[in-house]
Chain A
Amino acid sequence: MSFARWIPAGLLAGACLAATAQDARKEIEKYQQMIADSSPVELFELEGEALWKKRQGAKNVSLEGCDLGLGAGALKGAYAQLPRYFSDADRVMDLETRLLHCMTTLQGRSREEATKRVFGNEDRLSEMEYLSAYIAAQSRGVPMAPGTSHPREKAAFELGRKTYFYRGGAWDFSCASCHGEAGKRIRMQELPQLFKPEYARPVVATWPAYRVSNSQFKTMQWRINNCFQQMRYPEPGYASDITVALAMFLTATGAGEPYRGPGTKR
């Protein structure tokens, strides 16, 4: 008898929870729509454009001669085909790595000077963040299509995949420890299984992104750097092979979706 009374009650509670989760998701979507409506990213794009055209460095030239893969100065759709292999640098590069390359070669700046402040704050974004906002915005509507045919691009993808599942650090964490199972979240933030295209696509189509909770603009290099920190790994080098490989793994996994960023995150 007591069983018969318990079971329906349990079912009812389950149904209620499911309904609440549905409502919560709908409310979160509504909230995300609202924050996207008030994104200040367009202001950052304007600043980025000014920095792209600003003469700097020992050679006193702008970045307008920088080849992001589609020819010197070509910006339309350039972000959507990164990361890719660049023969002039003999490396696979993501946007920030390529920009850093242009700053050191084209503008004659030192790596130390160019990377002194790569992650900004709410009062002022970094140069890389402004530039990322401007350049990524020039790929709106262009399907994400990173390089996947060159052997070095394939190697970067494989290294990225290996890193994603590689457990290490003080907590024996891998990316997959958090981003490995369906239905996991941190507080209200769902953790996408980024090794699956259906989860990776909306992510790579919206980074870099404006973060509402701290009024900052964040790039993929920052995202990866911050994940390493959360996993208690040593800090990865900015624009290092390992960060580019992870970006390649994520972007190639999520390829095909038209770019619709710079996005807005909670």
Chain B
Amino acid sequence: MADPMKIRAGLKGDVADVRVLMNHPMETGQRKDSSGNLIPVHFIQEITVKLNGKSVIEAQVSQAVSRNPVFSFRVKGAKAGDRLEISWLDNKGDRNSTETALA
């Protein structure tokens, strides 16, 4: 998946305030297309956040989350220059990841 992800991170003291915008259809499996066929379920299942390669958040997500979701969270114990990596895995096995250096 080459679709872009957009990450925005701010650092306050040792707490990183992070917002990440993900490009994903997040199909619930309940919608039908124009010819009446069910659109197969397609959603992000796992989100992983790593700080300098160490996993700090592992989230399980369901199809109840909207299309192009935004996740925002805080990471404690971060400092300027730390590398923050965010990746997701969806139910079709597609993956995407992005990273940024905290400033």
Q: A106 → chain B, closest Cβ, in Å?
A: 26
Cβ B4 vs Cβ A46 within 8 A: yes
Q: B23 on the interface (CB 8 Å rule)?
A: yes
Q: Interface digits, A46-64 against B, CB 8 Å rule (1 contact, 0 not)?
A: 1100000000000000000
With known contacts A42-B6, A43-B4, A43-B6, A123–B68 Cβ distance under 8 A: no
B74: Cβ under 8 A from any A Cβ = no
Alpha-carbon separation in the docked complex, A42 to B3 (Å) = 12
Chain B residue contacts of A215, Cβ below 8 A: 66-68
**Chain B residues bordering chain A, tally (CB within 8 A):** 11
A46 partner residues in chain B, CB cutoff 8 A: 4, 6
Contact with A along B59-70 (1 / 0, CB 8 A): 000000011111
User: A47 CA to B69 CA in the complex, in Å?
Assistant: 17
A:1-57 near B, CB below 8 Å: 37-38, 40, 42-43, 46-47
Q: Which residues 15-35 of B have a CB within 8 angstroms of A?
A: 21, 23, 25
- Give the chain B neighbours of A40 by CB distance below 8 A: 21, 23, 67-68, 70
CB proximity of B67 to chain A, nearest CB, Å: 5
User: In the complex, what distance in Å separates the CA atom of A215 from the CA atom of B24?
Assistant: 12
CB distance from A43 to the nearest CB of B (A): 5
Contacting pair A43 B68 (CB below 8 A): yes
Nearest residue (CB) in B for A122 is B67
Q: A215 to B28: give the CA distance in the assembly, Å.
A: 14
Q: Nearest-CB distance from B8 to chain A (Å)? A: 9
Which residue in chain A gives the minimum CB-CB distance to B70? A38
CB <8 Å contact, B23 and A43? yes
